[in-house]
Chain A
Amino acid sequence: MVGKKKRKSSKTVVNLILGVICFIWILPTFGLFASSFRPAADILHTGWWKVFPHQEWKAGETLQLSKDVDLRQPIEVNGKTYSDDQLKAGVKADDSRLIWENRRARTVNMQEQGWKTTPDLTLDNYKNVLSGKEYKLKEADGSETVQKGSGLSQAFWNTLTIAVPATVIPVLIASFAAYAFAWLRFPGRKTLFVIIIAMLVIPIQVALIPVLKDYTSLGLNGSYLGIWLAHTAFGLPLVTYFMYNFISQLPKDLFESAFIDGASHFTIFSRLILPLSVPALASIGIFQFLWVWNDYLVSLIFIGNQPSVQVMSMKIADLVGSRGNDWHLLTSAAFISMLMPLAIFFLLQKYFVRGLMGGSVKG
């Protein structure tokens, strides 16, 4: 009886601690998400947690002071005196707050405290960051500035253009190789496979300088083909290893009966192995796709500054560098780049986890 009660209370404690950890884990992402929908001026002046209901000062009665009040002298409002600076920042008087409404016209607003329950949300940030057109931005003081959009939609398509072939090509090539390593015997098989295993964790930095030199002489820099090939090569060891593990575990009888029927290796591979490997192909394909989608280093080196082929991660990194305080752009841009990974994460979680667990060692 006592033990059961103890178990139960310890479970509550566990739930509580885990809840706190989860809360901390999700808070940064949520902050970004909430901010991306707030008007640009709001993001810069109040924290994102202000999207929740909170108390704030709301405009109330307007007081007209006499036109010839000297701003350098203490100013009398409702029987009390305040300095100009105090009125600029807002000063508390009883239950209300006094603040200049229009300093030149000498009007003071008597603000009252009230609850703000519906946050101001907007999709403008997303529109502005996606398009490449100019747009007007309202500042907090009411003035307007013209800014140029970041053209992220172009980068989105570029990323997709790079990621899909850079997933399909290595997965196909690696599957053929994995089949040969698993089920065919040939001289050099062992040596070649040992080299592939050795390449699993190799830092790609060791390849970048010579490959860039080759690319420069071949004219492949900044082209889609160059980056597909680079991602193919950097992904191949892992994909081959992953597919080998799967294909070599398939039952032997399968092949034997196919051979008796007179099927060639090519037929067996494309009619039998590929369909059977769909779960493995999905897992490693998702891993490779996300790897390319999230990649920054490889694109930074092989694409450089060409806006027509630039991918999202570079675009966002550029935004951080050049417009680090434009949070309305950064938050929405970062969220757009996260859309694809998050969609895959939530929709294909089973394959996603399997792929990541198999592929986490990638260089």
Chain B
Amino acid sequence: MDAQIKPEASAPGTQAKQRISGRAVLLSLGVLLANIVINGLIFLFFRDSTLNPLLTAVLAVLWGVLGVYLIYYTLTWAVEQYPDRIRRKVLPYVFVGPAVIILGWLLILPALRTLYLSFFNASSEKFVGLSNYAAIFSDHLMATALRNNLLWVFVGTLACVCFGLLIAILADRSSYERIAKSIIFMPMAISFVAAGVIWKFVYYYQPGDEQIGLLNAIVTYFGGEPQAWTSMLQPWNNFFLIIILIWMQTGFAMVIFSAAIKGVPDDILEAARVDGAGEVKIFFGIMIPFISSTILTVTTTIIVFTLKIFDVVMVMTGGQYDTEVVATQFYRQFFMYRNFGYGSTLAIVLLIAVLPVILINLRQFRKQGGF
């Protein structure tokens, strides 16, 4: 990364003394202004567009590709009217500018504003200090949400990592690795809402002997009583929701572990076998240490993902029957109760929970050579 190209070095002197022409200034201001006006008009057009959605989509793709491309094209053209030394300074900002503006407006500033709002009351009018934070740790509903979230993170992640590892190893030694991996990985492609419907059907309960839900049919076949799995069996219903996460995320863990396992050198494994080590011993003594950093990465990834779990709970129970998690509670406080104070505080709690991961990412980046 340290070796950057310095193309201008090849032709020193000749251009460096060029003056900034008035024409260039006018041109670039004109281009900038024209871009703002035209894209502002396009903005208004799309905002108020009542055209057929398909046509809107086509236009949007055109704008997304051509329009965004043209913004860069015209702005770099304008910058190129200036002498080299100015061009070199300004051009990078033209390239990163749009990304920085959008990120700043829609992600970074809002995060700071949310932090600010979390110190205010429900209608964001009165400063209340840390009392929102005190409240969410004492309120019964919030306590349930926090407890459930911990359950999700702990049970869900542990199960995903263990199953992922197990299946990766089994697949590695089986005779139909590709198909098996496809089957296990497939749920990752579909949405949580669709997965929710799939599993709602599995857990479906109706009174009477004829059960159309798979789980209850199995239970009644073996002479058991059918159950309303996701509602009545508190607090175990949480586990039935977590199973959905496991079903979806194990494939992710498996694919990454599978790649890591293939990286374990064969001669080490062979040497261990010659020395008489059993498969179990090889697994714990050689494989696990060898892929430990991969296990760490997968674990943090799934933890981050699980912390923010929302769709499954929303579709399956809507947070009823004591299945509330932080993200659903956030939605409820924000949208239904219009309590911006609590809502913001919950969002910040999620942010604090992922803070260690952010720090790990940054350290990792610096270690890899970063800049």
Residues in A lying within 8 Å of B, measured CB to CB: 10-11, 14-15, 17-18, 21-22, 25-29, 31-32, 35, 43-49, 154, 157-158, 160-161, 164-165, 168-169, 172-174, 176-177, 179-186, 189-190, 192-211, 214, 218-220, 223-226, 228-230, 232-234, 236-237, 240, 248, 252, 255-256, 259-260, 264-266, 269-270, 290, 293-297, 300-301, 308-309, 313, 316-317, 320-321, 324, 327, 330-331, 333-335, 337-338, 341-342, 344-345, 349, 352-353, 356-357, 360-361, 363
Rounded to whole angstroms, the CA-CA distance of A317 and B72 in the bound complex is 40
Chain B residues with CB under 8 A of A207? 106-107, 110-111, 114
Contact B189 A344 (CB under 8 A): yes
Which residues 322-366 of B sit at the A interface, judged by CB distance below 8 A? 327, 330-331, 334-335, 340, 343-344, 346-348, 350-351, 354, 357-358, 361-362, 365
CB distance from A118 to the nearest CB of B (A): 20
Which residues 58-116 of B sit at the A interface, judged by CB distance below 8 A? 60-61, 63-65, 68-69, 72-73, 76-77, 80, 89, 91-93, 95-96, 98-100, 102-103, 105-111, 113-115
- 6 new A-B contacts, CB < 8 A, other than A266-B76, A349-B182, A357-B256, are A45-B210, A172-B68, A199-B107, A206-B110, A301-B335, A333-B197
Chain B residues with CB under 8 A of A154? 53
- Chain B's closest residue to A258 (CB) is B7
Q: 23 A-B pairs, CB-CB below 8 angstroms? A: A17-B170, A21-B180, A22-B183, A28-B201, A44-B212, A46-B210, A157-B53, A157-B57, A174-B99, A177-B96, A201-B354, A203-B350, A204-B308, A205-B350, A228-B60, A229-B106, A233-B102, A255-B5, A297-B311, A341-B190, A345-B185, A356-B252, A360-B252
Rounded to whole angstroms, the CA-CA distance of A183 and B2 in the bound complex is 10
Q: Contacts A177-B96, A206-B111 known; A198 to B361 CB distance under 8 Å?
A: yes
Interface size on B, residues (CB 8 A): 119
Chain B residues with CB under 8 A of A290? 189
CB distance from A358 to the nearest CB of B (A): 11
Chain B residues with CB under 8 A of A229? 102, 106
Chain A residues with CB under 8 A of B95? 176-177, 179-180, 184, 265, 269
Chain B residues with CB under 8 A of A18? 167, 170-171, 174, 176, 180
Of B23-31, B41-49, B140-148, the segment with at least 4 beta carbons within 8 Å of chain A is B41-49
Chain A residues with CB under 8 A of B99? 173-174, 176-177, 236, 240
Contact A15 B176 (CB under 8 A): yes
Chain A residues with CB under 8 A of B344? 209
Q: Does B156 contact A (CB under 8 A)?
A: no
Q: Does B310 contact A (CB under 8 A)?
A: yes
Q: Contacts A296-B314, A334-B194 known; A224 to B212 CB distance under 8 Å?
A: no
Contact A206 B350 (CB under 8 A): yes
Contact B173 A203 (CB under 8 A): no
Contact A233 B186 (CB under 8 A): no
Chain A residues with CB under 8 A of B108? 195, 199
- Chain A's closest residue to B184 (CB) is A25
